[in-house]
Amino acid sequence: MSDNVQMMADGAVEFEQTAKSANVEEYTEAETPKSIDDLAKDKIAEKIIKTANVSVEVADYDASISEIKKRLRIYNAYVSSEVENNTSYLISNSLTIRVASEKFDNLLDTLIVDVKKVIQKSVSLTDVTEEFVDIEARLKAKKEIETRYYEILKKANTISEILEVEYKIKQIREEIDAAEGRLKFLNNQVGYSTINLTVNQYNDYNYNEPSFFSKLGDAISSGWSGLIIFIIGIFYLWPLWLILGITLYVILKLVKRSKKKK
């Protein structure tokens, strides 16, 4: 029975190698399409992750945010995260927007139509077609191996054989779950594109010169703080004052004795 289990493990490797060979053949054919229709099919099969990073300046922050969210609803897009910052000179909002990939370009153009200024804009396209095809092939091979393990499990006679096969099934199932999770993630990233949008409104910063009394108050406060620090510093040096005091006392004593002898 253990020999059967080992044969199944060897079979898994053979299945994956076969799947890889099949992928190579498919890519070779795809590289030399025979018609325009073949080219169109190849493009449809591509798995592209689209990501945009955009930073804009607006004149009216509240109105702009309201308009942006209105446009998101039109394109059935949604905000997956939002971080707002408000300082004396800047109000900003960083939004992570997810939208169906086929609506990505139109939404991106719409979001920057009425802005005061486009500070930064970049778009990246990540082709994950090869990874997607490779995972699918490996997943198919692993599922076939899992099916064969279950067939062997039905024929197992001893507890050790059952435990051995169940362990193999557990291993292959973990690999299948990981592959399916990766495929699900890739499908989500391909199906829904991401737009990282930062909206900024810069406020005029007015510097107010401090008045005379304000400066006077600051000076008094600083002077008082300096005095306190000085006094505390003196107390920190008490060992030095003690040594100096003892030294001075001894010197005075010696001087007095010297005068008495004379």
pLDDT digits over 117-135, tens only? 999 999 999 999 999 999 9
- Cβ atoms 121, 53 nearer than 8 A: yes
Within 13 A of 6's CA, how many CA atoms are on the CB side?
Answer: 3
Q: What does pTM read for this prediction?
A: 0.58
Q: Nearest to residue 199, comparing CAs of 134, 117, 76, 88?
A: 117
Within 13 A of 124's CA, how many CA atoms are on the CB side?
Answer: 8
Alpha-carbon dihedral angle through residues 157, 163, 165, 170, given to the nearest 10 degrees:
150
Please give the pLDDT value at position 118: 94
Segments of the chain with pLDDT less than 70: 1-44, 205-209, 260-262
Owner of token pair 């000179």: 89
Count of positions (residues) in the chain: 262
Please give the pLDDT value at position 23: 42
Collect all residues with Cβ–Cβ distance below 8 Å to 191 and sequence separation of at least 6: 100, 101
* Residue-wise pLDDT tens digits, 51-69: 999 999 999 999 999 999 9
Alpha-carbon dihedral angle through residues 63, 67, 68, 74, given to the nearest 10 degrees:
170
Please give the pLDDT value at position 28: 35
Please give the pLDDT value at position 151: 93
d(CA 262, CA 256): 10
Query: What is residue 206's DSSP assignment?
Result: P
Please give the pLDDT value at position 48: 93
Q: What are the angstrom distances between the C-alpha of 205 and each of 88, 89, 90, 117, 202?
A: 7, 6, 9, 19, 9
Please give the pLDDT value at position 227: 80
